[in-house]
Structure 1
Amino acid sequence: MPHPPFTGDYAAILKKYWGHDTFRPLQLETIESVAAGRDTLVLMPTGGGKSVIYQVPALASEGVCVVITPLISLMKDQVDRLRSRRILAEAIHGGRGRQEIDRVLDNCIYGDVKFLYISPERVDSELFRMRFAKMKVSLIAVDEAHCISQWGY
C-alpha cells in the first residue's frame, strides 16, 4: 500500500488544535520521520507528548489514522480529547456491540473519521479486516507498545 502524502504546516496544525506555538523537544523531528513514511519508534515518559507525534501528521493527510492500543481508558481519553478539539475520533473495544462497531467502521470508510482507536484483539476480527481493506488509511500507530508481549503472538 503506497504511503499517502503528508501535506500542511505542522506548526499551524499544532497551533490550531492544541494552541501551542512550538513543539516540545524531539516532537518535530519525529513527526517529520513519520511523515516521511519511516517506521518510527518513540520512547517518551507519560505526558511527554507522544500522541501529538502521530496526530499531527495524520491531520496533515487524507484518510484515517488507526491507533492500536490495549488500554480502553486511554482510548476513551484520547477520543474525548480529540473530539473536544473538533476532531472526529472513534474507538472500538470489547465494550461496544456489533451494531455500534459496524456503524463506526462504516464511518471510517465513508465518513470523516480521522482517528480510529482499536484494541489489539479487535484487529484480528474478520469484520475489522474486511472493513480495514476498504479504508483509506493514512497512518497506523501502536500506542503502549511496551504491552505487545502481553497481547500474544
Structure 2
Amino acid sequence: MVDGAELREALERWFGFPTFRPSQEAIVRDVLGGRDVFALLPTGGGKSLCYQLPAVLTPGLTVVVSPLIALMKDQVDALTTAGIAATYLNSALDYDEQRRRADALHAGAYKLLYV
C-alpha cells in the first residue's frame, strides 16, 4: 500500500497538483486497496484523477468507458502531455488507426484506454 507522502508525490509528479481536492485521497486509497468505490463528486471535483492516479500506480491497463468522444480526446491529450501512455478507441478513428492502436494495446503500450 502507498502511504500519504508517496501518494502526494505521485499526484504532483504526474498531475502537477501539490494536494488532493476534498475526498480524492480517500477515494484513491480505497481504489488502490482493491475496494469497490462509488464516488459522487461535483462537476470539476476531480473525478478523473480518482481513477487516473491509481492507473499510473498499478500494473496493467485501466479501461474507462466514456460517453463523449470529445471528452475521450481531451483526457487522452492531457494524459499524454503528462507523460502517461493513454489512448482511445471510438468511431471517429478510421480502421487503420483503430488497428494500429489495438496492436499497441495488445503490446502493452498503454496504461489507460478510453472507449
Instruction: State the TM-score, normalized to the length of structure 1.
Output: 0.68
Q: Does the aligned pair in 2 maintain the 1:10–1:57 contact within 8 Å?
A: no
Structure 1: 5+ residue runs without aligned partners? 1-5, 119-153
Aligned to 1:58: 55
Out of 7, 10, 24, the position equivalent to 1:10 is 7
Out of 36, 46, 49, the position equivalent to 2:46 is 49
RMSD: 1.6
Runs of 4+ in 1 over 6 A off after TM superposition: none
Instruction: State the TM-score, normalized to the length of structure 2.
Output: 0.89
1:83-102 deviation line (CA, Å, top 9, x unaligned): 11111111111111222212
Out of 82, 85, 96, the position equivalent to 1:99 is 96
- Give the CA deviation at 1:7: 5.7
Structure 2: 5+ residue runs without aligned partners? none
Out of 67, 81, 84, the position equivalent to 2:81 is 84
Greater share of residues in strand: 1
> Higher mean Cα deviation, 25-34 or 90-99?
90-99
Structure 1 residues 48 and 95: CA distance shift in structure 2, 3 A: same
Identity of aligned pairs, percent? Answer: 41
Aligned to 2:64: 67
Out of 94, 108, 111, the position equivalent to 1:111 is 108
AA aligned to 2:106 is I
